[in-house]
Amino acid sequence: MSPQSLVFTACAFASGFALRAVDPLIVPIAQRFDVAPATAALLTSAYALPYALAQPFLGPLGDRFGKLRCMQVCVVGLALMLVAGAAAPNFGSLMASRLLGGVFAGGLIPLVLAGLGDAYDLHERQVMVGRMLVAIISGQMLGSAAAGLVGDAAGWRAALALAAAIAVVAAVSAWIGAAHDARPATASATSFAALYARVFDNRKAFWLYGAVVAEGTLVFAPFPYIGQLLIERAGSTPADAPARAGLVLAAFGIGGIVYGLLVRRLVAALGVRRMCALGSAVLAAGYAAFAALPLWWLFALAMAACGMGYYMLHNALQIEATELAPAARGSAVALFACGFFVGQALGPPLFGALMHAAGFGAALLASAFGIVVLGRVVVRAVVVAAPAGALPT
């Protein structure tokens, strides 16, 4: 593996770990700072929303000044914000660290994917993005599981400190890797407006970005509430809920890894359109099942199925984003990530409002119905029009 690929992998893993590390810690953080769980759950939105809003700036900066150079700065900033979060003296400080951490994290995974698009042709890119997907999912999966277990054993501060340590390792690798990269960093004078004009010259851009906003909103809305759901529906206690929630959320990543191992066979057997339709159906069925499951380990099994279904749908959109505008790939993929994280930021408060108004069951069923509709839209408006070979084979 080349030094650049190692840097990409380390940064992608660190970003994924930091993203999901807070989800299983919502209950103990709420107890520590004497805030409602719904308020503590806003820490997820506090990371996702600035991550999204930073994308329209970070993507063109990567196109103009070099993707690796931007990643170096961003991974150092993420590490510093995770350290600040672990030492936060009050809830406001913790919220601020997540806000700024989200901004810096916005320069990692999208630029990794854009960098792979620059480095590999479409056929090779499918393999490399698949490998990078394993690193991203592994980071998210271990972020949930390790944070839950460490938080249960040593407290939520220790869990955030672990995320900070991983980001520090990624930062060191980024600076060492850049020093061994023989290719000079290049800069472009192309304006932000010109780069985005290239993206939207492709008429599919509007459908693709709308779909990814809806996907982020619907799929990840329940994640911060899993601990509370286990307490109310599956017999967990505030003491064991963080560890169990972490394992349940980690199961989502396991499903994604299974997808990554089986993707070639799935496409061969189903075709891309049917794979997307089936993936959305599996994901929706899993969320609907959450309304009735009585045991935490059943939640984990259902979440694993949800993870596989999600990546059956999502990876088609992700590969398409790398081909939307080859001359402005960093901008195109960054805008894709912007939409995705806008959705993730909107999801938890919307889900929380519906949950308080109509109950957990109604909120979960509404999410499931929305996912089914999304799957149909993706199949008809995005995947059908995809150029041959643009999706995993």
Has residue 88 been placed in a domain?
A: yes
Backbone angles phi, psi at 16, to 5 degrees: -65, -40
Of the chain, the percentage scoring pLDDT greater than 90 comes to 24
Has residue 34 been placed in a domain?
A: yes
Is the pLDDT at 199 greater than 50, yes or no?
yes
Count of alpha carbons within 13 Å of 282, Cβ hemisphere only?
23
Which residue, among 40, 20, 368, has the nearest Cα to 223 in the 3D structure? Answer: 20
Has residue 56 been placed in a domain?
A: yes
What letter represents residue 349's amino acid? P
135-177 residue pLDDT tens: 887 887 788 788 888 888 888 899 999 999 999 999 888 878 6
Instruction: Kindly give, in sequence order, each residue whose CB lies less than 8 Å from that of residue 371, ignoring residues fewer than 6 positions away.
Output: 218, 219, 280, 283, 284, 287
| Number of separate domains in the chain | 1
Backbone angles phi, psi at 234, to 5 degrees: -125, 15
Least-confidence region, from 15-24, 115-124, 350-359: 115-124
- How far CA 123 is from CA of 126, 127, 208, 315, 323, in Å, comes to 6, 7, 21, 15, 12
209-227 residue pLDDT tens: 999 999 999 998 898 888 8
Has residue 73 been placed in a domain?
A: yes
pLDDT at 280: 93
Which residue shows structure tokens 């995993």?
392
Which residue, among 90, 106, 34, 42, has the nearest Cα to 334 in the 3D structure? Answer: 106
Has residue 388 been placed in a domain?
A: no
- CATH (domain of 81): 1.20.1250.20
DSSP line for 177-190: HHHT--SPP-----
Q: Are 253 and 146 in contact (CB under 8 A)?
A: no
pLDDT at 370: 94
123: left (phi over 0), alpha (psi -120 to 50) or beta: alpha
pLDDT at 125: 64
When pLDDT is cut at 50, 70 and 90, the band that residue 98 belongs to is very high
Q: Between residues 67 and 219, which one has the greater pLDDT?
A: 219
Has residue 23 been placed in a domain?
A: yes
**Segments forming the whole domain that contains residue 51:** 3-181+188-383
Q: Are 172 and 16 in contact (CB under 8 A)?
A: no
Has residue 392 been placed in a domain?
A: no
The mean per-residue pLDDT over the stretch 37-46 comes to 85
121: left (phi over 0), alpha (psi -120 to 50) or beta: beta
Which residue, among 32, 29, 42, 24, has the nearest Cα to 236 in the 3D structure? Answer: 24
Has residue 391 been placed in a domain?
A: no
The mean per-residue pLDDT over the stretch 291-304 comes to 89
Exposed/middle/buried for 36, CB within 10 Å: 0-12, 13-18, 19+? exposed
Q: What is the end-to-end Cα distance of the chain in Å, rounded?
A: 23
CA-atom Rg of the chain in angstroms: 20
pLDDT at 91: 93
- CA-angle at 122, arms to 118 and 128, nearest 5°: 75
- How many residues make up the chain in this entry? 393
